Structure 1
Amino acid sequence: MRIRNKPWADDFIKEHDHIVEPSPYAQKGSWRQLFQKEQPIHLEIGTGKGQFIAKMARNHPDINFIGIERVKSVIVGAIKKVKEEDVVNVRLLNVNAENLCELFADDEIDRIYLNFSDPWPKKRHAKRRLTYHTFLKQYQQILKPEGEIVLKTDNQQFFEFSLVSFSQFGMVLDEVTLDLHQLKDPENVMTEYEEKFSEKGNPIYRCKAHVPASR
């Protein structure tokens, strides 16, 4: 899907530096002190227009949320969602998520959300998938012992790839759900993509996994 360029995005982001952290790499190891309260930190990689992270922050004021979105024309939508929910426990980062260990210290994150990540369906692009082993290694480093990864997608091939990748890496699968909305999970917060795909009748896959502390 082509993303429409927003020439005003740069200025809009700068005007909201209380939401979009202007110096994210300088905060490595100090993210807890950046928020009003020192609380567990949950990280969403690929925040998109922000519906998920804004609603999660509203529903869970006892958790601090960080959302990464590299596309400026998209993150402005997330800024608006955070403002609409009037929450103070969210920080957005307008960066690429390729080098997470440069952004976060070891054991700094309690949970990671991967919501409808780009499946990169071509075999030659497998290394770009956010559940490829090089990314899992970074997640293991920045997550606390027993820290959890929660993945949601409508793409069956990507889901199957992720399950295999998690298992081969030595992660423990805590949940594997092949049709999330059949569960009627009251705690589930939908993303924009999730709403779109669900309306089309597509099943939503979800899994939860963690790296054992002994690794």
Structure 2
Amino acid sequence: MRLRNKPWAREKIEQHPQYIVPSPENLKGQWHEAFAEKQPLHIEIGTGKGRFITEMAKAHPDINYIGIEIYESVIVAALDRLIEADLPNLKLLNVNATDLKNFFEKSDVDRVYLNFSDPWPKVRHEKRRLTYKDFLKLYEDILVDGGEIHFKTDNLGLFEYSLMSFSEYGLLLKFLSLDLHQSNYEGNIMTEYEEKFSNKGNRIYRCEVKYR
């Protein structure tokens, strides 16, 4: 994916510390202080333009959410959504997911969402996939005991790889759909990519897995 450079993005991010947390390492172990209410915390890794995480925060005011996005030129779109919605239970982080342990302690997070992650199809890039075993260990290190990963993609190869990775790691499968939009699953909130791919006729694959 080629990103359009937005040289003004950094300045805009810095102008809105109430929405994009400027020093998340300072809240490690005490994220409840960043929100109006102390309640469960769910994070989305690769939040993109923020449609999913914003709509989730609207639909579930009893849960706190954090959208994590590495690219400044992308997170500013999510920032615009949050400015408009002004939700007390949603924050954004402009950080790299590989550094999660710098910002979260064990049991800080109750659930991780992975939506339409880069499939990194080449074998030599396996370690970059967000469902690779090293990332699964990283999530385990910040999740509560029995925490969950909810995963969606339109890429069958990535989905099959991820199911194998989850199984080999010892995660428990709670939910599986090989065609989400043709299932009776309720409460699905689409991402921008999900709507785009679904409109093209692509199947959407989804699963929920749980740490033991």
Gaps of 5+ in 1: none
Distance in structure 2 (CA, Å) of the matches to 1:71 and 1:25:
18
TM-score (norm 2): 0.98
Q: SS where residue 141 of structure 2 aligns?
A: helix
CA RMSD of aligned residues (A): 0.9
Partner residue, 1:47: 47
Distance in structure 2 (CA, Å) of the matches to 1:29 and 1:184:
38
1:111 aligns with 2:117: no
C-alpha distance after superposition, 1:112-131 (max 9, x if no partner): 00000011000000000000
1:21 counterpart letter in structure 2: V
Partner residue, 2:155: 155
Partner residue, 1:80: 80
CA shift for structure 1 position 168: 0.3
Partner residue, 2:8: 8
Q: What does 1:1-215 correspond to in 2, within 5 Å?
A: 1-212=1-212
CA shift for structure 1 position 184: 4.5
Distance in structure 1 (CA, Å) of the matches to 2:88 and 2:120:
34
Does the 8 Å CA contact 2:27/2:33 hold for their aligned counterparts?
no
Distance in structure 2 (CA, Å) of the matches to 1:154 and 1:35:
33
Gaps of 5+ in 2: none
Greater shift after overlay, 20-29 or 83-92?
Answer: 83-92
CA shift for structure 1 position 99: 2.1
Does the 8 Å CA contact 2:19/2:92 hold for their aligned counterparts?
yes
1:191 counterpart letter in structure 2: T
Greater shift after overlay, 26-35 or 53-62?
Answer: 26-35
Distance in structure 1 (CA, Å) of the matches to 2:202 and 2:148:
25
TM-score (norm 1): 0.96
Does the 8 Å CA contact 1:40/1:110 hold for their aligned counterparts?
yes
After the TM superposition, list the runs of 4 or more consecutive aligned residues in structure 1 that deviate by more than 6 angstroms.
none
CA shift for structure 1 position 79: 0.5
Distance in structure 1 (CA, Å) of the matches to 2:150 and 2:186:
16
Does the 8 Å CA contact 2:19/2:91 hold for their aligned counterparts?
yes
C-alpha distance after superposition, 1:89-130 (max 9, x if no partner): 111000100021111000110000000001100000000000
Distance in structure 1 (CA, Å) of the matches to 2:184 and 2:32:
33
Q: Number of aligned pairs?
A: 212
Does the 8 Å CA contact 1:55/1:85 hold for their aligned counterparts?
no
CA shift for structure 1 position 46: 0.2
C-alpha distance after superposition, 1:58-109 (max 9, x if no partner): 1111000011100000000000111222311111000100021111000110
Does the 8 Å CA contact 1:54/1:82 hold for their aligned counterparts?
yes
Q: SS where residue 164 of structure 1 aligns?
A: helix
